[in-house]
Amino acid sequence: MSESEANLFEEILNREKIWFEKDEDEVQAGRTFLFGVKRDDFSRAQRANFEVAAKHRKPLITNKILRYSLLIIFFGFLSLAIIGYVKS
């Protein structure tokens, strides 16, 4: 989790009025941000975590030309399959 992700997560927890404890830990790979929430608020905190992950995720195929080419090829094959099914 990067610092921007940790800050956004903390902001969402504060907005949702979820009690939490925050700590930072220095590890060999860099800094780790630790959050502790009450067991009763776990599902709400998990939803906030999913929201942060969704905002910071990267596309599976980062190259736009390749991504759209694969989509065009997929829909081309799909349309051929549908046409073949209808004609048979």
Whether the pLDDT of residue 69 is over 90: the answer is yes
Asked if residues 45 and 35 have their Cβ atoms less than 8 Å apart, the reply is yes
Residue 2: the pLDDT is 85
What phi and psi, each to the nearest 5 degrees, are found at residue 46? -65, -40
Q: What is the pTM of this model?
A: 0.69
In whole angstroms, what is the distance from residue 82 CA to residue 80 CA?
Answer: 5
Whether the pLDDT of residue 1 is over 80: the answer is no
Q: Looking at this protein, which amino acid is placed at residue 2? A: S
3-state class (DSSP) for residue 2: coil
Residue 88: the pLDDT is 85
In whole angstroms, what is the distance from residue 59 CA to residue 53 CA?
Answer: 12
pLDDT band at residue 23 using 50, 70 and 90 as cut-offs: very high
User: What is the enclosing helix (H) or strand (E) of 56?
Assistant: none
User: What does the mean pLDDT of the chain come to?
Assistant: 93
